[in-house]
Amino acid sequence: MKQILSENEINFNDLEKEIYEIACKNAREMMVEILESMDDSLRVSRDREQYRHKGKRKTTIKTIMGEVEFKRVIYQTTNDLGEKTHIYLLDQAIGLETFGKISTNLALKIVEHASISSFRNSASNISSTTGQSISHGGVWNVVQSLGSKLKEIEDKDATLAASGQITGKTETKIIFEEADGVWINMQGKDRPKRGRKSELKVAVAYDGWELESKNRYKLRNKIAVAGFVTAENFKSVKKALLLVFSIRMKSK
């Protein structure tokens, strides 16, 4: 910083990057201080009979401001089955959820970039616009991890819907559905000929139209679902989404 400011001619782009890096560094230090302070408070206020202190563990989380390395206490406790297990009270208190070692905020930014650009370009954009550096392979891993979690949720909803455990609360006389498939060329020259293309199935459902502005209408209660799945799986996931969506619509 001092070196840049001492130059006769200040390069704005370099100055901007330098200030941004300093801001990210300060933010990382602040996060470490807050997390470790919270962890210490939980250590003091915990039920000592239920949670046995088993020392501190170091971890590193990749965030939108760079890698945050901190220590937190691991506790030994007993689950509902009477089995010994180990947990981090801090993780429970702050709702810490990561994709590997990547924070949810950073993962969402990565996936957002990957949805409109190649993995390599996405990695370059993320590395230049956040405090975190990532490779194109890292972008691929995040996309696969997030996709797996979404599939787990969809499959669970489909199973519940099939067994009648999800029932819609919003009633409508008619539901409009539109569905189609788009065949897409997949990357990878080493793929067998029969695996060079894959069908992306897409469906949209709604229960009518409503006036949005003068001479302009929009679909009412529109939902959409898409995926590279079998026809049977797509049908079950679509049905579950309709039921889950109707429950949410009723609560509004």
Element (H, E) at 159: helix 136-162
pLDDT at 4 over 60: no
pTM assigned to the model:
0.72
Q: How confident is the model at residue 237, as a pLDDT?
A: 84
Model confidence at 3, pLDDT cuts 50, 70, 90, reads low
Segment 79-97 mean pLDDT: 92
* CA gap 43, 218 in Å, rounded: 53
Tokens of 72: 């937190």
